[in-house]
Homo-oligomer: A and B are copies of this chain.
Amino acid sequence: MIPGPTPVPEQVLKALSSHPIGHRSKEFQSLVKTTTEKLQWLHQTKNEVLTITGSGTAAMESGIINTLSKGDKVICGENGKFGQRWVKVAKAYGLDVIEIKAKWGKPLDPNTFKDILENDSNKDIKAVILTHSETSTGVINDLETISQHIRNHKKALSIIDCVTSIGACNVPTDEWGLDIVASGSQKGYMIPPGLSFISVSEKAWEAYEKSDLPKFYLDLKAYKKSLINNSNPYTPAVNLVFALEESLKMMQEEGLHNIFMRHEKHKLAISKAIKKLHLKLFANEEALSPSITAIQTDGFDAEIFRKKIKDKYDILLAGGQDHLKGRIFRVGHLGYINDRDVMAAITAIGLSLIEQQSASGEDLGSALDEANNYLNQ
């Protein structure tokens, strides 16, 4: 129950362990074709979705360095560790970064984006870089509204980290006009880490032609060119593509709506139960991520608490990062998670609280009852 690597279905692990085949073979080309089509379905887009061997960070970096030039002015949203990382990437490449911040645990204010974009009458702002679901805090930012403000600006590109939102909640790439959407395999995709994905709009490809930042392995034009032949510019992680094919097939069988509803009800079940156990949610309740719930531990050490749960119940919860270490723990409910997993996590948390006398058996009963109401919806 961590926000990645997420659990991997047995049939996906089986596909993963097939003998590798040549990445220039017809068989592999056919896999590239079908997985790319399915990725477009998942991303709700007609844009190319490129598969890169690397982490989600590699995909986000490629989105930034393929569309921008040194000195370009960009907005970076920052309300957590990943927002912070994209600021670092942008600065590493000499971009001129306007940071829009919110306290960790709070969502970014769309109106701040609106104001800055509307006041940019010279159209100097080239891109807005943003994390949709902030894994470090369990906050989801209002991408629908912010993307509308970006579209109204007309010039700025949207470069969005959807690492823990794609495959968990609705991200209609084309409808929201998202130019770059980056994600990683070990999240909603239900496969082990090693692949990342990036969808690129027509407008982003136009920006590519003007971009002067140096790149080679992450030069997306090479991936685009190869994709015409259902191929890759460099040797891809072939076995992870076997796994991807299988997991995307499972996702199509479940259907986008059902996947989103499953994540929604798990989110509600956990967050409502947590309150019955007298714990506080770290994130604003109207901005809870569909993938991960961060829980405050006022009065006890979150690290010791989650270690106990790991040792006693073999359930791994995530800790807080940076200044949040020891102050929060995080329950991942992303990807291949079912009702039983959610119930087990709530029960383990509840029993551990009972043991340290900060909750009663009655509290746990009512937490599970409340959770069950949402799971039955």
Kindly report how many copies of this chain are found in the complex they form together: 2
**A186 to chain B: closest residue by CB:** B235
Q: Are the C-beta atoms of A193 and B92 separated by less than 8 Å? A: no
Give the distance to chain B from A20, nearest Cβ to Cβ, in Å: 4
Closest-CB distance, A96 to chain B (whole angstroms): 14
Contact B7 A236 (CB under 8 A): no
Is there a chain B Cβ closer than 8 Å to A139's Cβ? no
List residues of chain B with CB within 8 A of the CB of A53: 53-55, 58, 193-194, 237
Interface residues of A in 221-239 (CB under 8 A from B): 234-239
Hey, what's the 0/1 contact readout for A85-108 against B, CB within 8 Å counting as 1? 000110011100000000000000
Chain A: how many interface residues by the 8 Å CB criterion?
Answer: 50
Q: Does A316 contact B (CB under 8 A)?
A: yes
The answer to the question of A326 belonging to the interface, with a C-beta cut-off of 8 Å to chain B, is no
Query: Interface 1/0s, chain A 275-319, versus B by CB < 8 A?
Result: 000000000000000000000000000000000000000001010
Evaluate contact between A55 and B194: CB separation under 8 angstroms: no
Dominant secondary structure at the A interface: loop
- Chain A residues 1 to 44 lying within 8 A of chain B, measured CB to CB, are 2, 4-5, 7-8, 13-14, 16-23, 25
| Docked complex Cα distance between A236 and B193 (Å) | 6
Q: Which residues of the other chain, B, contact A184 by a CB distance below 8 angstroms?
A: 235
CA distance A22 to B18 in the complex (A): 23
CB distance from A229 to the nearest CB of B (A): 14
**A192 is an interface residue with CB less than 8 A from chain B:** yes
Measured between beta carbons, the chain B residues less than 8 angstroms from A61 are 216-217
A349 to B22, CA, bound (A): 19
> Residue of B at shortest CB range from A184?
B235
Cβ A57 vs Cβ B217 within 8 A: yes
Which residues of A212-255 are within 8 A (CB) of B? 213-219, 234-240
Q: Are B20 and A192 in contact (CB under 8 A)?
A: yes
A138, CB-defined interface residue at 8 Å:
no
The answer to whether A80 has its CB under 8 Å from any CB of chain B is: no
**A17 to chain B: closest residue by CB:** B17
A237's partner among B13, B19, B218, B240 (CB-CB below 8 A) is B240
Is there an interface contact between A239 and B92, defined as CB atoms closer than 8 Å? no
A215 to B4, CA, bound (A): 25
Known: A22-B5, A53-B194, A194-B194. A92 touches B216 (CB 8 A): yes
Chain B residues in 8 Å Cβ range of A94: 214
Q: How far is the CA of A8 from the CA of B238 in the complex (A)?
A: 12
B22 near A2: Cβ-Cβ < 8 Å: yes
**A186 CB contacts on chain B under 8 angstroms:** 20, 235, 238
Please name the residue on chain B nearest to A56 by beta carbon. B235
Contacting pair A20 B239 (CB below 8 A): no
Neighbour of A234 across the interface among B8, B57, B218, CB < 8 A: B57
- Choice from B4, B20, B213, B238 contacting A235 with Cβ under 8 Å: B4
Contact pattern, A 187-211, Cβ under 8 Å of B = 1, otherwise 0: 0000011100000000000000000
Contacts of A17 in B (CB 8 A): 13-14, 16-17
Residues of B within 8 A of A89 (CB): 216
Q: Which of B13, B234, B238 contacts A58 (CB 8 A)?
A: B234
Q: Which of B5, B214, B236 contacts A213 (CB 8 A)?
A: B214
> Are the CB atoms of B194 and A237 closer together than 8 Å?
yes
- The answer to whether B235 touches A193 (Cβ under 8 A) is yes
Shortest Cβ-Cβ A-B pairs, 8 listed: A194-B237, A17-B17, A5-B20, A55-B234, A192-B239, A58-B217, A13-B17, A20-B192
